[in-house]
Amino acid sequence: MASVSKRFGLIGAGLIGKKRSGALAELGFEMAGVFDIDESRASTLAHSFGSVAKSTIQELISSVGKDGVIVVATPHCELTKAAMAVVESNVNLLLEKPGAMSLEDVTSLIDFIAHSGSDSKIAVGFNHRFHPGILAMREAIFSRRYGQVKFIRAVYGHGGRLGYEREWRFDPAISGGGELLDQGSHLIDLVRFLTGEDLLYKFSSISNIFWGGKVEDNAILNLAGSNSGFEALLHASWTEWKNKFLLEVFCESAKVEVSGLGGSYGAETFRIYDMGEKLGPPQISSVEFKPDDLSWKREIVDFIGAIEGNESIGATVFDSRAVFEIVQRSYEA
C-alpha cells in the first residue's frame, strides 16, 4: 500500500490552481512550489502559500518527490504535455478537467501512461462528482428504490463578463472548444457518473449566439444510455445571465433533482418528488446543504485514498476520454 507525503506542487497558477492549492492547504498539505509560464503569477501565488516559484516543471517535480502530489491546472492546450512529464517522473497526478484539449490528446496520454511503466496514481478533476447533492442523487439512483432512470434534463450556465470573448477560452488553439468543454464536460461526466452507463450520441446544437469569436457559447446535447436507453437533454450556456445549475433525473416513480452549487449558483438543494406506486401527487422532500463548496477537498481526500489503495469514485483518464468522444462527435455533427 502506497503512502502519501503531505507535499504538493502546482503547474498552472490560475484561478483553478489557486482553488486546488487552497483545498490541499486546508487538508494539511505543504506547497513545495509553483510553475507557470508567467513567472510573476507563479511567484505571487507561491508566496501566498509560503512557497516559491520554480523555473521548470522538472525542478517542481523534484521538489515534491515521488510520494507527493502534482496538480496540473493549466489551459487545455498544456494539460497533456505537463501530465506526461509528471507521469514519466512517477509522481501522483491530479489533472484538471477536461484532462486534455481533444480526444486525440487524451488518447495519446492514455497510450503514454500504458507504455511508461509508471505506477503513479492519476485522477482527472471533475470535482462536481463530490458535491453533496450529486452524491445524494447517485445513492438514490443506484438504490433503484424509484425504479430505473428514464430521462435526464440538465442546465448549467453563467453569463461570462465584460471582455469574456477576449479570454483564452475563446481561442480554440488554446482551449480546444468553448462552453461544451467548459461546463458541458461536467454535465456529460455527471450523467455517466450518476447512471453508471456509457453514453450514445443522438443530436447536438452548437452555436454562438452572443459573444462572437471562434468557439461556441451554447451547446445542447441529446444523448442516450448505452444499456437502458434513457434519454438525456443537456444545455450548457455562456449566456445564462443568472448563474444556474439544475439537474433533474426522472425515474419510474419519482424525480430526483439537484439545483444550485452554492455561491452565485444559489444554495445547493437536493429534492425528491416521490409519486409512489399509484403515481399520485408527489410527496416532496428536500435537503439544503451548507454554502461552503467542499467538493474540492472531498475530491482530494478520495484521490489520496485511491493512492493508498482504497476504492475511488473520482474520474480517471478513461472517463475523460469518454467525455471527449461525445464532445468530438458533437463538434463534427
pTM for the whole structure: 0.97
> Where do the structural domains in the chain lie, given as residue ranges?
7-127+298-316, 132-290
Position 1 pLDDT exceeds 70: no
Tens of pLDDT, residues 113-152 = 999 999 899 999 999 999 999 999 999 999 999 999 999 9
Percent of residues in the chain assigned helix, strand, coil, to nearest 5: 40, 25, 35
Q: Which residue has the cell 509560503?
A: 50
Domains 7-127+298-316 and 132-290 share a fold: no
Query: Is the confidence at residue 47, as pLDDT, over 80?
Result: yes
The pLDDT assigned to 5 comes to 85
Query: 3-state DSSP call for residue 64?
Result: helix
Whole-number Å distance between alpha carbons of 273 and 259: 13
Instruction: Identify which of 114, 122, 55 has the alpha carbon closest to the alpha carbon of residue 83.
Output: 122
Weakest mean pLDDT among 3-7, 78-82, 158-162: 3-7
Please tell me the distance from the alpha carbon of residue 142 to that of residue 125, in angstroms, as a whole number: 23
Number of CB atoms found within 10 A of residue 295's CB: 22
Buried b (16+ CB within 10 A) or exposed e, 77-87: bbbbebbbbbb
The mean per-residue pLDDT over the stretch 29-39 comes to 97
In CATH, the architecture of 7-127+298-316 is 3-Layer(aba) Sandwich (3.40)
Beta strands in the chain (DSSP E): 7-11, 30-35, 69-72, 92-96, 122-125, 149-157, 199-207, 218-225, 231-237, 244-251, 254-259, 269-274, 283-288
For residue 11, what pLDDT band results from cuts at 50, 70 and 90?
very high
Tell me the CA end-to-end span of the chain in Å, nearest whole number.
Answer: 46
What secondary structure does DSSP assign to 291-319, as a single string? SS--HHHHHHHHHHHHHTT----SB-HHH
Question: What is the pLDDT, as a whole number, of residue 73?
Answer: 98
3-class DSSP state of 288: strand
Q: What is the pLDDT of residue 278?
A: 81
Please state which architecture CATH assigns to domain 132-290: 2-Layer Sandwich (3.30)
Q: In which order are the strands placed within the sheet that holds 254-259?
A: 199-207, 218-225, 231-237, 149-157, 244-251, 254-259, 269-274, 283-288
How confident is the model over 240-296, as pLDDT tens digits?
999 999 999 999 999 999 999 999 999 999 999 999 888 889 999 999 999 889 999
pLDDT exceeds 80 at position 298: yes
